């Protein structure tokens, strides 16, 4: 009779350990989905990172420097280029550019307004200085505007964002479904562990196993990246893009730390409940 009871107890322990593992794995996947939802799949996240890294100011400086070289070759004053770039509303441009990734539209920088504004500025520049606007100059002006537009597109475009743009739009729906499904599944597993255990301290023990496992799994991701020092070593063309890249992924992994902290809190809480109930059970025994 005792042997049968011990065997049944071992089987129950194995089952609940498996449920704890499933809870940990589900919470781990749920945390990843939540991080992706709050970062990569959120347009506000990118714009916030841009603001935090002063991305638009750096792009303006780089655009000014690039257009000055082009302008000097065409005989334009540095002050003209400086004033022209100063009037560009890069925040609005970048916001429209980023929103296109999340709406399934074409992920190209619109140059229509830029070309029109530059052409108007050049016409005013020529008129103010009484420069003869011959047919040959017209061709040169068109070439200058096209070259400036190319430099503008290269600096405003975000390389790594262009690669994942289509995936963001296509995976948004499945990610929401997975997020809801994993959340419900985690609650079901936790409910099974809680309500099918006769002893209260065992309920919290297996819940603690699940939360601790999820905490360790979620913590590993940012810890490995931080220890490897991979992000600061990435070599990206311009200073603005490099700072944006580093700021973007540092902020992304900060979200992992946040969920890691939440899971650590749940682990400590369930352990405390297990410990107090276990002491109480021993006292009553």
Domain extent at residue 93: 56-160
Q: In this structure, are 111 and 247 located in the same domain?
A: no
Confirm whether 165 is domain-assigned. no
Nearest to 113 by CA among 123, 105, 121: 121
Output the pTM of the full model.
Answer: 0.83
Over residues 137-166, the mean pLDDT reads 80
At 3, is the pLDDT very low, low, confident or very high (cuts 50, 70, 90)? Answer: low
Only one residue has tokens 């650590």, namely 264
Number of domains making up the chain = 2
Q: Is the pLDDT of residue 215 over 50?
A: yes
At 274, list the tokens: 């297990």
* Distance (Å, whole) CA 164 – CA 171: 10
Q: In this structure, are 123 and 84 located in the same domain?
A: yes
Q: In this structure, are 36 and 92 located in the same domain?
A: no
Q: Is the pLDDT of residue 1 over 50?
A: no
Domain boundary among 160, 183, 204: 160
Q: Is the pLDDT of residue 132 over 70?
A: no
- Is residue 207 within 8 Å of 193, Cβ to Cβ? yes
Only one residue has tokens 């990172």, namely 49
Domain boundary among 129, 160, 191: 160
Q: In this structure, are 61 and 153 located in the same domain?
A: yes
Q: In this structure, are 154 and 108 located in the same domain?
A: yes
Domain boundary among 160, 183, 199: 160
Confirm whether 108 is domain-assigned. yes
Confirm whether 17 is domain-assigned. yes
Q: Is the pLDDT of residue 98 over 60?
A: yes
| pLDDT for res 2 | 54
Q: C-alpha distances in angstroms, 52 versus 43, 64, 99, 241, 250? A: 15, 21, 19, 13, 12
Only one residue has tokens 């089952």, namely 15
Q: In this structure, are 192 and 278 located in the same domain?
A: yes
* Distance (Å, whole) CA 1 – CA 206: 27
At 48, list the tokens: 């916030």
Over residues 146-164, the mean pLDDT reads 82
Confirm whether 210 is domain-assigned. yes
Q: In this structure, are 116 and 19 located in the same domain?
A: no
- Is residue 270 within 8 Å of 204, Cβ to Cβ? yes
DSSP annotation string for 37-91: HHTTT-HHHHHHHHHHTTHHHHHHHHHHHHHHHHHHHTT--HHHHHHHHHT--HH
Q: In this structure, are 38 and 61 located in the same domain?
A: no
| pLDDT for res 26 | 97
Identify which has the larger pLDDT, 237 or 197. 197
Over residues 227-254, the mean pLDDT reads 83
Confirm whether 130 is domain-assigned. yes
Return all residues near 123 (Cβ < 8 A) that are at least 6 apart: none
Over residues 8-37, the mean pLDDT reads 93
Q: In this structure, are 138 and 224 located in the same domain?
A: no
Confirm whether 10 is domain-assigned. yes
Determine what percent of the chain is predicted with pLDDT higher than 70: 92
Over residues 5-17, the mean pLDDT reads 83
Return all residues near 35 (Cβ < 8 A) that are at least 6 apart: 252, 255, 256, 259
Q: Is the pLDDT of residue 119 over 90?
A: no
Q: In this structure, are 266 and 187 located in the same domain?
A: yes
Nearest to 216 by CA among 274, 256, 273, 175: 256
Confirm whether 169 is domain-assigned. no
Q: In this structure, are 82 and 43 located in the same domain?
A: no
Q: In this structure, are 37 and 102 located in the same domain?
A: no
């Amino acid at each position: 009779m005792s042997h049968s009871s011990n065997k049944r107890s071992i089987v129950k322990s194995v089952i609940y350990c498996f449920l704890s593992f499933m809870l940990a794995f589900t919470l781990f996947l749920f945390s990843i989905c939540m991080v992706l939802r709050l970062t990569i799949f959120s347009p506000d996240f990118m714009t916030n990172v841009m603001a935090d890294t002063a991305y638009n100011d750096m792009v303006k400086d780089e655009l000014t420097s690039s257009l000055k070289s082009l302008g000097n070759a065409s005989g334009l004053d540095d002050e003209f280029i400086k004033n022209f770039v100063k009037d560009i509303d890069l925040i609005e441009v970048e916001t429209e550019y980023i929103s296109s990734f999340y709406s399934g539209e074409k992920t190209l920088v619109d140059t229509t307004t830029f070309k029109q504004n530059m052409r108007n500025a050049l016409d005013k520049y020529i008129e103010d200085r009484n420069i003869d606007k011959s047919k040959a100059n017209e061709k040169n002006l068109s070439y200058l505007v096209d070259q400036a537009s190319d430099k503008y597109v290269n600096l405003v475009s975000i390389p790594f964002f262009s690669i994942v743009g289509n995936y963001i739009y296509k995976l948004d729906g499945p990610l929401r479904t997975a997020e809801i499904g994993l959340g419900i599944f985690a609650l079901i597993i936790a409910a099974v562990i809680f309500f099918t255990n006769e002893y209260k301290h065992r309920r919290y023990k297996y819940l603690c196993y699940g939360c601790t496992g999820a905490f360790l799994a979620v913590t590993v991701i940012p810890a490995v990246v931080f220890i490897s020092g991979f992000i600061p070593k990435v070599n990206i063309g311009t200073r603005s893009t490099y700072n944006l890249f580093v700021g973007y992924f540092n902020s992304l992994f900060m979200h992992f730390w946040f969920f890691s902290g939440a899971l650590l809190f749940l682990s400590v809480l369930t352990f405390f409940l297990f410990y107090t109930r276990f002491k109480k059970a021993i006292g009553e025994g």
